[in-house]
Amino acid sequence: MSVRVKKEIAAELAQQLSKITNEAKVDTIGIFTHTGARVAFFTKSPADPNEFSAIAASLQNAGNLAVNRLNFGEPTDIMVRSKNGFIILRKFDEFILTAGARNIEVFQKAASVLLAYSPKMKLLLAKIPPGQY
């Protein structure tokens, strides 16, 4: 399932995601809801967008449950690192910004770029009315 957004918002999202992709050197980037609906998705890998959105939502929800059970407060990021890559999920109210790359050496840079773009992305995603997702 995907979320329909107005053309103006879609253009702004595309511009911001392009900047993040270039600065962070990530291979995969997407925005999803907590229920797995896709707002935007791009990848250089053969990943299925529907499957990836469901996985991102599951990871975010599992992370929320884990930190809440431990009384760690509201999670901001969930990071999954492997031998050959990584995925970072950054929470924005009802949305999840997901970025990943095969090059593990850009992990720290990607995390910093996502943090730097957080205020802009949060404001932009707030323009999507709740009835659209």
Q: Domains in the chain and their CATH numbers?
A: 7-128 (3.30.450.30)
pLDDT at 130 over 90: no
pTM of this structure: 0.87
Q: Is it the case that residue 56 has pLDDT exceeding 90?
A: yes
* Sign of the CA dihedral with 46 first, then 97, 21, and 85 last: negative
Residues with Cβ within 8 Å of 55's Cβ and at least 6 positions away in sequence, in order, are none
- At residue 133 the predicted structure's pLDDT band, cuts being 50, 70 and 90, is low
Distances (CA, A) of 109 to 64, 79, 114: 24, 13, 9
Confidence of residue 67 (pLDDT cuts 50, 70, 90): very high
In the structure, what pLDDT confidence band is assigned to residue 84 with cuts at 50, 70 and 90? confident
Question: Could you tell me the pLDDT band of residue 32, with boundaries at 50, 70 and 90?
Answer: very high
For 25, which DSSP code? T
pLDDT tier at 1 (50, 70, 90 boundaries)? Answer: low
d(Cα 105, Cα 63) in Å, to the nearest integer?
24
Torsion of CA 59, 112, 121, 64, to 10 degrees: 30
Averaged over 49-72, what is the pLDDT?
A: 93
